[in-house]
Amino acid sequence: MSDFKKKPKPSTPANKPKTPAKQPSTGSSKSLGSHIQPSTGGKSIGSRVQSSSGVGATPAKPSLKSTISSGPRPPAGAGRIQPASISAAAPANLTQEMTEQLSSLDSRLETLQSQLGFEEHYDAMSDLDNGISALSSTVADCRRRGYCYQGFLERKVETLESKWQDARPRLVNEMEQSGTELQGLLNTAAQTRNNVRNSAAIPAFDRSLNALDARRESADTAFRSHYSGIYETFHQTRAQVELINDMLDELDMASFSLLAGESPVRSVKARWWRDGEKRGPDGVLYLTDQRLVFEQKEEVATKKVLFVATEKETVRQLVFETPLGTVQNVKSSSRGLMGHEDHLDYEFGSGAPYPNAHFHIDGQESDEWVGMVKRVQTGDIQAERVQPEGQPAVSTADVDAAIADAPQNCTSCGAPITTPIMHGQRQIICEYCGTSMRW
């Protein structure tokens, strides 16, 4: 497996790549760009081997990102700038220097014309129009699938929708007003260019472009001020929901089952450095409110010809699990070139299969994982818990009673149970004989 890299953060309208400027066409009559139209847009613990042939495989689900980004663009409105054209050729009486200057100004006008489409703002409007409602549906689906933490998500999405409904009309109005002014400045610039008959008229053309560009920058800033905070929060929320959705998808295919009363918190693609020096299985690291679990998930060669793998299988098997109460310490670190790799070091006490474990995680912040583990251990995460649909509410008294009912000794071998019991836990495995006890 190649070295993991940190997951890039989603772009905001302020840093989206710009469309490269078109080169000016040649000839006596030139169009300064065309009007850009909107696009239309209970499993047993064990191993599982999946063939890479794809026979009988379940079709891949579209990613949440592609699902909530798809959909029709907002219709073109009064804010859209109509194209302008140059009907006059370069005067023949210009010096070489003046000809080059005029050609440069023509290219600048061409570039400004393309920038007046404000496509990044229409893209952002489309993302927010289609994406916020999709977020609400996806959060509800995650709840139906059993995810019960981050109880703030529903309110966060509702607030996003409310803020966007309030900001959208103001943004559209700003676009309409700015569009009228910009259209006039663009037409003036084009007419000034058409009136160039000699070198004396070139400065006026230059000034008209300066006025157009200044108004374009002012409009761009004004547009973004209406929605930039909403847009940034939308992408941040979407990333949170994607992590939950991905975790639930992995659990649907996992080779192990959740314990009684156990709920998932987070998962991440990881490599377990079993030897402490990069060698070890690739897979998925899970954090639940009761355990730390690592499941191997990687392709292994089943047939080789001249040392080249000709057939492969995807292997999924549980290779590491320990009650969260055995975690005595967890630390994060950054390694690799420029510190772009995220790593986790766990130290375990009695009841764990190993004294320590090192994981190289992919796409998530190791500091965040450290914080999550500690919040689960202290019970602080329970403040984010929501009641799963169709399940009876659990009171504080019920939780306290569950902890009080936990066995003090193994019901089979009689060994003492020393592993701390987590909030809501109703199952534990004896570290000596392996007996699973529920209460």
Whether 268 and 156 map to the same domain: the answer is: no
- The boundaries of the domain holding residue 431 are 264-438
Residue 193 in any domain: the answer is yes
Give the amino acid at 123.
Answer: D
Counting Cβ atoms within 10 Å, is residue 263 exposed (0-12), middle (13-18) or buried (19+)? middle
Whether 306 and 233 map to the same domain: the answer is: no
Whether 238 and 291 map to the same domain: the answer is: no
Residue 319 in any domain: the answer is yes
Residue 42 in any domain: the answer is no
Which of residues 180, 212, 245 is at a domain's end? 245
Is the CB of residue 1 less than 8 Å from the CB of residue 280? no
Whether 227 and 312 map to the same domain: the answer is: no
Whether 171 and 222 map to the same domain: the answer is: yes
- Token readout for 398 is 């019920």
Residue 251 in any domain: the answer is no
The upper half-sphere exposure of residue 205, i.e. CA atoms within 13 Å in the direction of its Cβ, equals 25
Residue 7 in any domain: the answer is no
Which of residues 245, 275, 299 is at a domain's end? 245
CATH number at residue 401: 2.30.29.30
What is the C-alpha to C-alpha distance for residues 225 and 13, in angstroms, rounded to an integer?
11
Whether 197 and 282 map to the same domain: the answer is: no
Which of residues 215, 245, 275 is at a domain's end? 245
Whether 383 and 297 map to the same domain: the answer is: yes
Give the amino acid at 215.
Answer: R
Buried b (16+ CB within 10 A) or exposed e, 401-433: ebeeebeeebeeeeeebebbbbbbbbbbbbbee
**Packing angle of the helix pair 153-194, 119-144 (nearest 10 deg):** 170
Residue 257 in any domain: the answer is no
Kindly give the confidence (pLDDT) of every residue in the chain, 439 residues in length, as a single tens digit, with 9 standing for 90 and above. 445 554 444 444 544 444 334 333 333 334 433 332 333 334 433 444 444 333 334 444 545 554 444 444 555 554 688 888 777 787 888 889 999 999 999 999 999 999 999 999 999 999 999 999 999 999 999 999 999 999 999 999 999 999 999 999 999 999 999 999 999 999 999 999 999 989 999 999 999 999 999 999 999 999 999 999 999 999 999 999 999 999 999 999 999 999 988 999 999 999 999 876 778 899 999 999 999 999 999 887 767 667 666 777 888 999 999 999 899 999 999 987 777 899 999 999 988 889 999 999 999 999 999 999 999 999 899 999 997 665 555 555 555 555 566 777 776 776 667 676 666 666 777 766 777 776 6
Whether 274 and 185 map to the same domain: the answer is: no
Whether 175 and 285 map to the same domain: the answer is: no
Whether 237 and 381 map to the same domain: the answer is: no
Residue 34 in any domain: the answer is no
Number of domains present in the structure of the chain: 2
Whether 128 and 210 map to the same domain: the answer is: yes
Whether 314 and 359 map to the same domain: the answer is: yes
Residue 304 in any domain: the answer is yes
Cα first-last separation, the chain: 42
